[in-house]
Structure 1
Amino acid sequence: MTPKPKDLLEQVKQIAYHAGEAIMQIYKKNDYDLYQKDDESPVTSADYAANEVLVEELKNLAPDIPIISEEMEKTPLVERQKWKRYWLLDPMDGTQEFVSRSGDFAVNIALIENHTPVLGVIYWPTKNTWYFATKGNGAYKQIKQTGNIVPIQVTSHSEKPELRIAVSRVQKSETIAKYLVAEQTHPKIALGSCSLKNCLIAEGNADFYLRIGPTGEWDTGASHCILREAGGEILDAEFNPITYNQRDTLENPDFIVMGDQNIEWQKVVKPHKTHRKLN
């Protein structure tokens, strides 16, 4: 019988933790190999170590569920289209944060069913913290030391809210500013990896985030499930749904991460087309 996402959750959380421990062994020694991918993005031996843990343990947990990982050769769409469910992995989201030693990197595991994230687990190794959700069962945060599981949700706002924007530590302010409605200003909260910024919104500590530039579906899969269960959403830069496993490339368009769904977000963010080819 096919296991339900909620029945896999605790084991997936432990698998994410094990991958995080593999990263931390390297991070603490500050001794790693750094490479450059074909797209000029960085990858380290810590990314590969985490990927090895994730793939091995997920295959042991559910041998019949295929895997897409940022650090694996990609399966052609013609084959992927046959999959009703699969794991979508980013072994270490925030590689640049690992290199710069900010600590803002995370292990991402999503289970996708029929193009929709139905399980999301994110483990933040330097904070010993999980964020997790399964479809229809709410979103939660757990700190390893206490073991306490706390429900999380996006912040609800009044008619004229002061919206806090999560931003990258390295992205230039003017890159984001041109996509915001000009007469509005927003307090900025800087954090590293894409998925951790999304979790910041899911737990109510920021309100929105714009991602301008290339990301993969593995960057959003896990946090998308968590955000939805916390009351938020991710849409592309034209306010259309983000899709999974429906294009040759696994690259996302530019996207908007939104908290409170009662806000008229098109009065906050200017829609725009992604200026790159997404097939």
Structure 2
Amino acid sequence: MLRTFEQAALEAGRAIIEVFCNGCQVEMKADASPVTIADQEAERIILAHLERDFPEIPVIAEESVAAGKVPDVAGKPFFLVDPLDGTREFLDKRQEFTVNIAYVENGIPIAGIVYAPALGIAFSGERGSAEKLAIDENFAVVERKQIRVRKQPAESLALASFRHDSPETGLFLTRHAISKCSNIGSSLKFCLLAEGKADVYPRFTRTMEWDTAAGDAVLRAAGGSTVTMDGQPLIYGKTGAAADFDFANPNFVSWGGTAPVLEQA
């Protein structure tokens, strides 16, 4: 499965970089988030790969959902796809945008890939094994390295969203005596935890499942964890909640290791 993910992500990344270099028009979706031809073309490429190799597995993909195409995934394994996570970074010519593909089984992200084409790196993980990949200018993998979360240090490094920080994040860091925090965009935050370069990522603003599933899969495969504020593992395939949108995440905290017992706000 990861082979298909890798091929799809690399091909999608090539299409994204072409648009990144040449520029494009921007449209706004109903939720006021931007979308470009790069998002749409990357999703088309990824869906073609998944439908070819796994035609029986439904796909929840960001742009398809925005267009009203939402297959029934209740009680089924399914894919989650964010073809271009960090569209605002992409438009601002920042390099932290990513391609994200994940496989979910019984509510758990089992396998995933996060590819940052402008940075020439990717992270993949599946069932207890995670890798960091180096990608060359021809969009080929030139190096693979096993990665693992680090032992929690005496002074933890936290990660926060570049664009979606919140007062709750500051309160969380204070309660847990964490003084060091770095801001970064997209799902790369999960990957920095997975490769042992940071320790915790609290998120108190809105995310959707396609934003987090691939990075979460990599993190869990590397020995990390993602939990809700009651200490339970973050699950996927959340639908039918009257108070929220389908596939919306609650607040969560990702850890580079086993999650400690969280203090409640």
In structure 1, how many angstroms separate the alpha carbons of the residues matched to 2:199 and 2:97? 20
In structure 2, how many angstroms separate the alpha carbons of the residues matched to 1:226 and 1:183? 25
Pick from 204, 207, 210 the counterpart of residue 215 of structure 1. 207
TM-score by length of 2: 0.88
Give the secondary-structure state (helix, strand or coil) at the position aligned to 2:10: helix
Hey, what does 2:243 align to over in structure 1?
Answer: none
- Sequence identity of aligned pairs in percent? 32
8 Å CA contact 1:122–1:131 kept in 2: the answer is yes
Hey, what does 2:148 align to over in structure 1?
Answer: 153
Pick from 130, 135, 150 the counterpart of residue 139 of structure 1. 130
Hey, what does 1:36 align to over in structure 2?
Answer: 28
Give the secondary-structure state (helix, strand or coil) at the position aligned to 1:28: helix
In structure 1, how many angstroms separate the alpha carbons of the residues matched to 2:168 and 2:97? 22
8 Å CA contact 1:26–1:32 kept in 2: the answer is yes
- The AA in structure 1 aligned to 2:237 is N
8 Å CA contact 1:179–1:271 kept in 2: the answer is no
Q: Note the C-alpha offset of 1:65.
A: 1.7
Pick from 3, 8, 15 the counterpart of residue 15 of structure 1. 8
8 Å CA contact 1:102–1:192 kept in 2: the answer is no
Pick from 184, 189, 192 the counterpart of residue 182 of structure 2. 189
Hey, what does 1:277 align to over in structure 2?
Answer: none
Hey, what does 1:257 align to over in structure 2?
Answer: 254
TM-score by length of 1: 0.84
5 Å-filtered alignment, 1:1-279, equals 8-29=1-22, 31-73=23-65, 79-83=72-76, 85-136=77-128, 138-145=129-136, 147-158=142-153, 161-172=154-165, 174-182=167-175, 184-193=177-186, 195-248=187-240, 249-261=246-258, 264=260, 266=262, 270-272=263-265
Q: Note the C-alpha offset of 1:157.
A: 2.8
Q: Note the C-alpha offset of 1:174.
A: 3.7
8 Å CA contact 2:157–2:198 kept in 1: the answer is yes
Which blocks of at least 5 consecutive residues in structure 1 are unaligned? Answer: 1-7, 273-279
Q: Note the C-alpha offset of 1:181.
A: 3.5
In structure 1, how many angstroms separate the alpha carbons of the residues matched to 2:195 and 2:106? 27
CA RMSD of aligned residues (A): 2.0
- The AA in structure 1 aligned to 2:150 is T
Structure 1 outlier segments of 4+, above 4 Å: 74-77
